[in-house]
Amino acid sequence: MTMNNYQRLLLYLVIFISTNSACAQDSGFPLALSNNKRHLVDNHSKPFLYNADTAWMLFLNLSKEEALEYLIKRKSQSFNVIQVILLGFADKENKTPANRYGQRPFLAENNFATPNPVYFNHVKWVIAKADSLGLALSIAPLWAGCCGEGWSGKGKAMELNKPEGNLKFGEYLGKTFGKFKNVLWISGGDNDPNTDKDNYRQLGMGIKKYAPHQLITYHASSSHSSTDVWEKESWLDFSMIYTYFRGFIGAWTKDQPDVYEIAWKEYKKPVIKPFILGESTYENEHGSIGSALQVRKQAYWAILGGATGHAYGSPLWRCDAQWRNYMDLPGGVSLKYFYSLFNSLKWDQLRPDTDKRVAVDGNGPFAANDYSTTAIAADGTFLVSYLPDPRTLSIDLNQLKGKSLKAIWYNPVTGEKHAAEKLPAQQVVKLSPPEGYHDWVLIILSS
């Protein structure tokens, strides 16, 4: 490391030392499903707001020192989950990548029965450091791949190892990482299971055999969720939705719903599972659409659409030589205010206003990238609306309980709250945010 990087790591270590003892005593892991199956909860049954960063190549491309620096920084920014890929991408010739230290995951190429202990010891080191910080790791063991870069598909490693080989590898993962309470698993990866459906099934069952407390989801292709491609699987604990935005011409799935559309669809399914927005538009990617505003839209749309959390993405996912340049992008930084806002509310009580009974006007055109979404608490004591741009919303206060109501405007860019405005009960009122050329959050509370 250069002297600047060394000094940076020392600074982060100070943060680490000051917070480490509290985190180590009780990190809240392992996570579980809430009683109503709508959310994830910690080991005290407290709702867990999944606020993830995406560092897919962390295990492969960062040294131990860099990984620790990264984890400490993200912890300080209120991220609580890191999404990573266990083995990296397999190329079109099925060649396995090596990590920063030249270690490969298998002693024999593509042979799941020959795991390299040295490679997986490095992974365990990173997991342990994350656990000491109170961070969960959502790990994708065998990335499916959208475009030939994965482990699944005709002639690829999952097929070559057959269902029994994938089962044995899942058992190895369960045995090797089962002691960690902060591990979750993301099966699949950017694609539907297709011809490898039984291979992924066996992988999940193998993990569950030795790590039953570690929750598993599935990362399907864009516009599909886990429950679109799997039914009644004993190993599938929670669902992941994945979409970009309408009009995204770069997607391999042509009809891309907006996040709130696919969230509402998942929320309304008869078989209830907690779900997260596991991937969407990345900040500083996808041209002008990859803005700070867009990543905030996605986060708020997910939670107000019934999700138990979301994942943020940026070019940092590569963990290449420029990774530090993406640690303070404005959208990623603003998500700490998203996290603090919802944790100040009983966010798990929110129900999406899918039929416009609460926000009756001003939402904007449906199936557009600037739609305003609203959710109301099940007991009618508060509501939250997200406005992607300044506008006037008509709110039916008859849907709220209590004689005394107040409206608060929350700036999602800075975390500032504007003075509460008293509202008359049992009326339809029109509310507009303070002056400003950015998105806003409206909170109405009853007492």
Do residues 203 and 225 share a domain? yes
Do residues 237 and 381 share a domain? no
Residues 6+ apart with CB under 8 A from 389: 370, 437, 438, 439
- How far apart are alpha carbons 223 and 243 in whole angstroms? 5
Q: Which of 298, 328, 349 is the last residue of a domain?
A: 349
Q: List, for residues 15-72, the tens digit of each pLDDT value.
A: 555 444 444 557 799 999 999 999 999 999 999 999 999 999 999 999 999 999 999 9
Roughly how many angstroms between the first and final C-alpha of the chain, as a whole number? Answer: 55
Full domain range(s) for residue 45? 3-349
Do residues 115 and 129 share a domain? yes
Q: What is the pTM of this model?
A: 0.94
Q: What local confidence, expressed as pLDDT, does residue 5 receive?
A: 59
Q: What local confidence, expressed as pLDDT, does residue 157 receive?
A: 94
Q: What local confidence, expressed as pLDDT, does residue 379 receive?
A: 96
Does residue 176 contact residue 141 with C-beta atoms inside 8 Å? no
Q: Give the phi and the psi of residue 50 in degrees, each rounded to 5.
A: -70, 105
Do residues 342 and 358 share a domain? no
What's the one-letter identity of residue 321? Answer: A
Q: What local confidence, expressed as pLDDT, does residue 287 receive?
A: 87
Torsion sign, CA atoms 384, 390, 395, 397: positive
| CATH number of the CATH domain containing 384 | 2.60.40
Do residues 24 and 53 share a domain? yes
Torsion sign, CA atoms 15, 18, 21, 22: negative
Do residues 279 and 406 share a domain? no
- How far apart are alpha carbons 179 and 381 in whole angstroms? 41
Q: What local confidence, expressed as pLDDT, does residue 21 receive?
A: 46
Do residues 218 and 292 share a domain? yes
Do residues 48 and 168 share a domain? yes
Q: List, for residues 188-199, the tens digit of each pLDDT value.
A: 999 999 999 999
| CATH number of the CATH domain containing 212 | 3.20.20.80
Number of domains in the chain: 2
- How far apart are alpha carbons 183 and 399 in whole angstroms? 40
Q: What local confidence, expressed as pLDDT, does residue 23 receive?
A: 47
Q: Which residues of the chain have pLDDT under 50?
A: 3, 18-23
Q: Which two tokens stand for residue 408?
A: 């608060």
Do residues 401 and 304 share a domain? no
